[in-house]
Structures are given as structure tokens and as C-alpha cells.
Structure 1
Amino acid sequence: MALSPLASQTPGVYIDEVNAFPNSVVEVATAIPAFIGYTPQAEYEGQSYLNTPVKITSFQQFQAFFTFPNPPAPAAPASQYSPQYYLTQQKKAPEKGSYYTINGSIYTIDPDPGTIYYLYNSVRLFFENGGGSAYIVSVGSYGAGTGSPVSPGSQIVNPNVKLSDLQNGLAQLQKVTEVTMYVVPEATLLTANDNSTLMESMLMQSDQMGTAMSLLDIIGGDAPDPILYTQDIQNFRNSTGNTGLDYGAAYYPFLNTTITELDEISYENLNGGDTSSLSAIVNPPSAPNPSAEQILNNIKNPPKGMTTGQLNQALMNSSKQYKQVMNIVQTKINTLPPSGAMAGIYTLVDNTKGVWYAPANVTPVGAVGLTLNINDSMQAGLNVDAVSGKSVNAIRFFNGQGILVWGARTLDGNSDDWRYISVRRTVTMIEQSVKLAARAYVFAPNDANTWRSVQSMIENFLTNIWKEGALQGAKPADAFSVAVGLGVTMTAQDILEGIMRVSVKLAVTHPAEFIIIQVEQEMAKS
């Protein structure tokens, strides 16, 4: 309160400071994903962080909370993720799935489903693609393997990944309004019915909160059939319900990445660590390799001072067949759902261009291939669905350009208002920014002075983001309008009830999804 000279008892000069500038709207953060899933552990300085949203700003912080501590040097670093694959000789090529010919025999290399998890590598992929701040909700540690591989060509369903765990982790984010994306990389490891329930829960919570989008992966995207993949897409569309579609975005197919390096895996990732079956590969009767056989013996009885990494490297150097097997295992481990990379791309585009730019026409860093090469005719069925309108964003390979995210639509693909991801996220940013700024006027007098202050505050904010390109129009009046006042947005009854209504209309920029260039020939002129 300003000091009144009349209230003073002492003659003199008094200073009365008057605020020259009204309250301002500060743009809220737009790219803070929350990863929900399983981690090696969830403990820091003796305290458990299970089912607790933890904000991190780097992969080093993720490691501090959610990975095993490394032993002192010179011991090898702790293994954070050790999936198991089974090398099995087959009498004939399987009808489904991939197989490999080694020394003239047919082999399959398939995972133990109980050992497959995606969150750890997805977080790595997030930071590699420009990710910054993120929340991690660990719903548990890794469970025991099943002791056998999945059938060739079958969907990987991890019995340790529980719908109740992931839904509980999702519910923990209801009080964290700062989160702008929900990412559950291990959702595709659920059964089809459980996956459907989880996706519907994510979209419903996104719709209720009004602050976060759900980035969804599609079952079957890890090994799609070049012809029957359309059934996977149809199953996905049938499994997402009809609530919150404008808050959801799906990407297809899975990415072949370089996240896990070859020296991070070894023979301990094969057949449960049993190396007896490797003898037929590295030392076949048709091509004896005594050196490789000796290394196998050393693995069973390690010489003093020899580490697993050294023995594994020696075996790869002495046997090209074993190295072939390890390269296949590495490729399979590095096949990841795209949601983690997309969360990083959203962050990168927001930070470098703005949330009003579509997170598309960008190369996912760390991706070296796709599980399915999509062409124009294939993408037509993904991008537009006349029945459900549920668009699926394609990730494609283009000659001379590499891999690009080639889609920018929400699941509400038939809506003129919410068809595009950038539109949905821009409006969300404006809503939340204005909402936080307007809190300064809660309990203020509901009169013309307050209305003018609120209107001026919002108009200044919208003018600034119009200058940056978020809103279309040659001048601010073409880009937005803000109205507030008695007889304009409020009735006398509203004022009696303590309600102040503000009407904001926006002309948000839309991405140029289809660029049409007209070419016409003219007759020669003198």
C-alpha cells in the first residue's frame, strides 16, 4: 500500500511507486514427457522412488535414480539391461518370422519374452534426439525370464509387464500438470486387450487433464508383415476408443537403432548363458576351428584375470559365425518403438522453432533403418481413414534423404479443428499459459479495471507469439481477438456469482501437409 502524506506525522518528501506495467503471460514449457515403465531399479541414497514421478534433466540423472551402480574400476560396468535370446536349430524354415543360415543349417534367434523391456533404451533414444527435462515413473524392476523363446513370428508378450502396474504409474501423473506427453514404451509388450485398455486410459487422462498428449506405439510394428501389416493398423484403430483422440498421436513402424553397442552384449545373452550349443556353430566338423573351441573352454573355466568382455571379444575375433549371431542379437535389441525418439523430436522442434511447428520432416537420430519400408500408397491408408479418422503417422525412408518422420496428425484425423499435432499443442500451450497468468486476478474486483488489465495482458502475450509465427494473419487483429466485459462475455448474474468470462479466438497456423504446384505450358512468344 502506498504511503499517504496525510497519514504521516513528519513533514518531508515521500515516494509513491506506481506499477507502470501490467502482469504478463509467461509461455509454459511444452516438451516435458513422462516415461512410465520398468527400470533396473528405483532407488537413490537409500530411498525408494517406485511409483514416484521423478524429474530428470539428463541421462546421468536417470542413471543415478534408476540404474544399478557401477562397481569400482577395473571391474566392468554393471549390466543395466540383459535380454535373453535363444539360438535354435530348425529342421526347416519356419512359416513365420525370420531365420538364418549358419554353416548350411537353419537357425532361429528369438527372445525370451520375460526379459524384453523398452524403457531404458527409449530414454537413451529420447536424450539422443534432443530431449531435455522429463519425468520418470518406475513401476517396478525387471522380472525373471520364462526360460524359453517365443514362437517364430509371434507377438512378444512379456508376462512381467502388468496392465495394473502401468495404469498405476499413469495415475501418479494426475497431480503433475507440468507433464506434456505420456510415453509408455512397454505398452506393446502387453496382450492386445490389455494394450487397448491402457491406450484408452492414456487418452482419457490426457483429455481430462488437458495438458498432455499421449504418444502411442502399435503392436506388430517390431516385425510387420509387408502385406498383412494393415491388420495391425486396423487392430490399433479398433483399440483406442473415441475419447481424447485429439490428444493422441501414433507412429509406425518401429525403428532399427544403434543405441545398444556390440560390446554391451555377450554370450551371456544367448541361451541363458549356456555356451554348449555354440560349439556346433563356431567349430563345425565341416570347418574345424580349434581356436574358437579353446575360447569356449576358457568361457566355461575362465582363466584368472580374464573378463566376460575379453572372452566375448576373443570369440568374435576367432569366429565369423559367432560374430554374425551377435550382430543379429544386437539388431533385435536395437529394434525399438518410436515413441521415445518422438518425445525427443518434439522437444527439439519446440526448442529450436516453436511448438507451432509440426514435429515432422525430421530425421530420428540413432535410427539406421525401419522394420517396414512404407511407400506413398501404403501411407495413404495410414494417414487418412474415412471411417474412424484415426491417422497413423508414418516414419519413412527416402533415397538421398534418409529416414524422416513423415506425418503430423493426431488420432482425430477427420477433425478440421484438431487434425494436426502442432495445432493441438499450440492451443494447449496458450490455454495453460493464460490460465497460470490469470491466477493473479483471482479475488480481484470483478470490474472494468480488472477486465481491461486481463484483456491487455492476454493481447500482449498473443501479439508476441503472433510475431514469432504461432498465429496466422497480416496483423494482430487478423490473428486473434480477446473480449471480456459486462454485456460482452458476462451477464449481471455472472458477476453476482463471482464469474469473469474471457473469450479468446485464435487463428492458429496449420502445417502445409499437401503442397500443390501447378505447372502449365505456354506457346512460344517473340
Structure 2
Amino acid sequence: MLRSPSQNGSFTSPGVYLEEMFLPPLPAFLTGVPVFLGVADFKENKNGDDRQPVKLRLWTEFTSKFQQLDNKSYLYSAVQGFFLNGGIQCYVLPLLSKDKLSDALEIAEDMTGIDLVCAPGFTDPNDQQAILEHCTKLGDRFAILDAPPSLNRPQVDLKTNLVGSYGAIYSPWIQIEQVAKSQSTQYVPPCGHIAGVYARSDREFGFHRAPANLIIEGVLGLDPNSVLQNTNVNQIRSVQGRGIRVWGAETLSPEDNWKFINVRRVFITVQRWIETTLADVAFEPNDYKLWLRIKREVSTYLESLFRKGVFQGRTTKEAFYVKCDEETNPLNLRQQGQVFTEIGMAPAAPSQFVVVRLIHDSTGVSLMPSVPSESKV
């Protein structure tokens, strides 16, 4: 018989006791939420074509719902590593085979609750370029990519072909504490563990902090044959006396403004907030009342981020600006049904404003890079 403990939590006699446990409530606007793409199938009978993402908040939910179809899928270890490193919510989008990646990316386009994309073990440059282009196109998510498992072939293509600020790549592969029985190798790609580090860093320090110099839980060692030293590859290192840590926080972009992961993720998070909060302005009259509303609501949100240390500067004027008026919305643009808002932000890493243009129209909200301001902080 299951019995509840006494009010003070003590147990007065031997036996089996039932303790009710509740998952902690999620923040209103959650960051560090990945979608995992990998070869797997549902344990319960489902339509084979029903490849829809499944939300998970516990590692045991994955093992109860999915089975791997490929011993090199690495989905098992990636999701396990995510929760082991502090992740609290993710999605799994199962593929029937690795050649179905493009189909999975198309399905993922409609997802709104994520800001990270992980495809553990998809190390072919063409696959990774497709993931980068997916993230760049949507502008509301960031790709965590794995370096190849070995250096038996030239890797210069990673430097020349993979370019973009909406993703980062990590090396080397890692040896984990518990390997799925179906996997034939002791080394696994690191993206799932790294995604967990992102989530933990967001929760403890904020999404504006670079997810680097942080320990990776559940890792026994590093694969010496997959260490990749190319430019813009973030290393995982064993630091004497300090464990195995993420050592690097660079995107795959050659542009100085978008060099750091935390800078790109600040803009991603701001865009996600705007898309959620200002979605209803699409059909409002395009006049000064609408411009004032957009400026007021965006400024209020950015001011709240300023108080959390997201931006540089001693005052809000040094940290950001929002411009939505007749100058940014001349008559010809208004006649096209678009509302242009210019937003300048000074994220914590670089020493200059990065400026984007915020566009509202009947299709939704989008951000477009603009000419960087020369204003220094």
C-alpha cells in the first residue's frame, strides 16, 4: 500500500511511501529550447508518415516514447545529454532515415516554441548548410552543429563552405558515461550536451551570456581523433582540475558584428518576443498611433533587458534605440502595407551598435539587417 509521509516529511514506520512531485513552472518566455532531428520511431503504433515534433520535459519521456532505428542515429545520447546538462524542455522530430532531413526541416518551420536546432551526427557539409539556411531564413533559431567524428578526410570545407551567424560548430566528439546499447561506438556527437549547457546558462545567467567556460556534465573524455582546429570551431577541452568544458563562443559568421553566439541569440530572442507580442498589429491602420504603440512596447521590453544586463551602456540611450515614425515609414512603404521599425542595440560583447530593421506586414514580423551605426558605447 502506498502512503503519504507525515506533515513534517518524516516516516514513522518501514514501508513504501508515495511522494507527490510536480515539475517546476516554466518561465513565460523560455529560451534554450532545442528541436532534435534524428532517426527514430515511436514505440506505440503510429502512422509512419506522422513525423510531428513531440515535446519533452523529462528524459524518461524520450525512452518511453521512442525507439532508435539506426545505431548511428545518436538521438538517444543527444537528448539524454541535454537533460543531464540542465535542459528543461525540448522537442524531438523523428526521421525514418537520414535522407529525410529536408522534410524534417520543412516541418520544423512551423514550430514557434524553439530557439535551437540540433541534428546529432549530421556532419555532412550539405546537411549542415541546409540546417544553417533553415535557421537564417526563419531568424528565430540557432543551429548547434557537430564537427565530423574523425579527421581521415580534408576538413577545409568547414571553413570555406559553412558560413552564417545563425549557427556554431563544436569539436571534438565526446565519450559519455552511459552509452545506448544499440550504439556501436563509445564516442558521440556533442550537440545535445551543448544544448543543455545553453539552457543551463540561460537559466542561471541569462541568454545574453556567452555559453562558454562552462562544465559539461556526463562526459568521461574526448575523442582525440576528431579534434578540429579550423577557424570558428568551438573547442571542448579538458581543463586540469576544472573538468571538461565548452571553450569557445563563436558563430560561423565572418562578420565582426555577428562573431559571438550571445550577440546573435540576443537578436533572436528579441525577434521572438516581437513576433509573439506584436503579432496583432498586422492589420492596424498604418499611422502615427501605430508607430507610437510599436515604439512604446518595444522600448519597454528593451528597457527590461537593459536592467538585466543584456546591453552595454550606462543609460538606455547608450544601450538601445527604437525608431518608428514618418521617416522610417514614407508614403510609398505605407502604400505597400508595411511598417518599418529601426532598432539599434549594443549587446554585451561588441563595442558598437548592431542595427536591424523590423518589418510588419500581413505575413507577420521579420528582421532585416541594416547599416551598423557608428555610435560607440
TM-score (norm 1): 0.57
Q: Tell me how far 1:214 sits from its aligned partner.
A: 1.6
The aligned residue for residue 420 of structure 1 is 260
In structure 2, what is the Cα distance between the partners aligned to 1:183 and 1:497?
37
Identity of aligned residues (%): 27
Per-residue CA shift, 1:208-263, capped at 9, x if unaligned? 11112221112234xx5xxxx7x6542433553x4xx1111100001111023xxx
Pairing of 1:121-200 with structure 2 (within 5 A): 121-140=77-96, 162=98, 164-188=99-123, 195-200=124-129
Pairing of 1:351-500 with structure 2 (within 5 A): 351-372=203-224, 381-382=229-230, 385=231, 391-412=232-253, 414-486=254-326, 488-500=327-339
In structure 1, what is the Cα distance between the partners aligned to 2:218 and 2:209?
22
- Stretch of structure 1 that moved more, 27-36 or 350-359: 27-36
* Structure 1 letter corresponding to 2:85: N
Q: Flag the structure with higher strand content.
A: 2
In structure 1, what is the Cα distance between the partners aligned to 2:339 and 2:50?
42
In structure 1, what is the Cα distance between the partners aligned to 2:50 and 2:171?
31
Contact 1:218–1:233 (CA under 8 A) maintained in structure 2: no
In structure 2, what is the Cα distance between the partners aligned to 1:509 and 1:197?
33
The aligned residue for residue 285 of structure 1 is none
Flag as ranges the 4+ runs of structure 1 deviating above 6 A.
none
List alignment gaps of at least 5 residues for structure 1: 1-25, 68-79, 82-113, 141-160, 189-194, 270-329, 386-390, 513-526
In structure 2, what is the Cα distance between the partners aligned to 1:358 and 1:422?
5
Q: Tell me how far 1:183 sits from its aligned partner.
A: 1.1
Q: Flag the structure with higher helix content.
A: 1
Aligned-residue CA RMSD in angstroms?
Answer: 2.7
Rg: which structure is higher? 1
SS in 2 for 1:251: strand
TM-score (norm 2): 0.78
Give the one of 160, 167, 170 matched to 1:251. 170
Q: Tell me how far 1:52 sits from its aligned partner.
A: 1.6
Q: Tell me how far 1:178 sits from its aligned partner.
A: 2.5
List alignment gaps of at least 5 residues for structure 2: 1-26, 352-377
Contact 1:357–1:511 (CA under 8 A) maintained in structure 2: no
Contact 1:219–1:236 (CA under 8 A) maintained in structure 2: no
Per-residue CA shift, 1:418-450, capped at 9, x if unaligned? 100100011111122123222232322323233
Higher relative contact order (CA 8 A, sep 6+): 1
* Structure 1 letter corresponding to 2:239: F
Distance 1:170 1:501, change over 3 A: closer
The aligned residue for residue 91 of structure 1 is none
Pairing of 1:210-289 with structure 2 (within 5 A): 210-221=139-150, 232-240=154-162, 242=163, 245-260=164-179
The aligned residue for residue 51 of structure 2 is 51
SS in 2 for 1:34: strand
In structure 1, what is the Cα distance between the partners aligned to 2:160 and 2:149?
14
Contact 1:28–1:432 (CA under 8 A) maintained in structure 2: no
